């Protein structure tokens, strides 16, 4: 779990076996495009993050399911089928 005010997700790329990633309470999230380099990533949780967070770089990852919590605002939601972008209030 990453729980910081500002997070660059590009730093997690060295963890090639990562399957789940939880990001919470962030004011700024960057580096989402780097997650395309994680072949085993199937779950991304964004909770209580300020945004909007642009999910467009992740649209081609067919095995990835994204969960947003606590009204985390996102852009690019139309690129995901409902079963791959699950919004929890």
Quick one: tokens of 37?
């380099």
pLDDT reported for residue 28: 87
Burial environment of residue 66 by CB neighbours within 10 A (0 to 12, 13 to 18, 19 or more): buried
Question: Tell me, what's the pLDDT at 33?
Answer: 96
Question: Model pTM greater than 0.75?
Answer: yes
- Nearest of 38, 82, 73, 28 to residue 58 by alpha carbon: 38
Question: With 90 as the cut, is the pLDDT of residue 76 above it?
Answer: yes
Do residues 57 and 32 make contact, with C-beta atoms less than 8 angstroms apart? yes
Do residues 10 and 29 touch, judged by C-beta distance below 8 A?
no
First to last CA, the chain: 20
Residue whose token pair is 């939601």: 77
Local confidence band at 3 (pLDDT 50, 70, 90 cut-offs): low
Residue 21 has what pLDDT? 96
For residue 89, the model assigns a pLDDT of 82
Q: Which domains does the chain show, CATH number per domain?
A: 6-87 (3.80.10.10)
What pLDDT, in 10s, does the model give residues 12-65?
Answer: 999 999 999 999 888 889 999 999 999 999 999 999 998 899 999 999 999 999
- Residue 5's pLDDT is 73
């Amino acid at each position: 779990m990453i729980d910081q005010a500002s997070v660059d997700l590009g730093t997690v790329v060295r963890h090639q076996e990562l399957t789940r990633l939880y990001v919470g309470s962030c004011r700024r999230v960057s580096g989402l495009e780097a997650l395309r380099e994680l072949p085993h990533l199937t779950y991304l949780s964004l909770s209580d993050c300020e945004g909007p967070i642009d999910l467009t770089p992740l649209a081609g990852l067919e095995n990835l399911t994204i969960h947003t919590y606590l009204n985390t605002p996102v852009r690019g939601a139309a690129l995901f089928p409902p079963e791959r972008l699950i919004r929890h209030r």
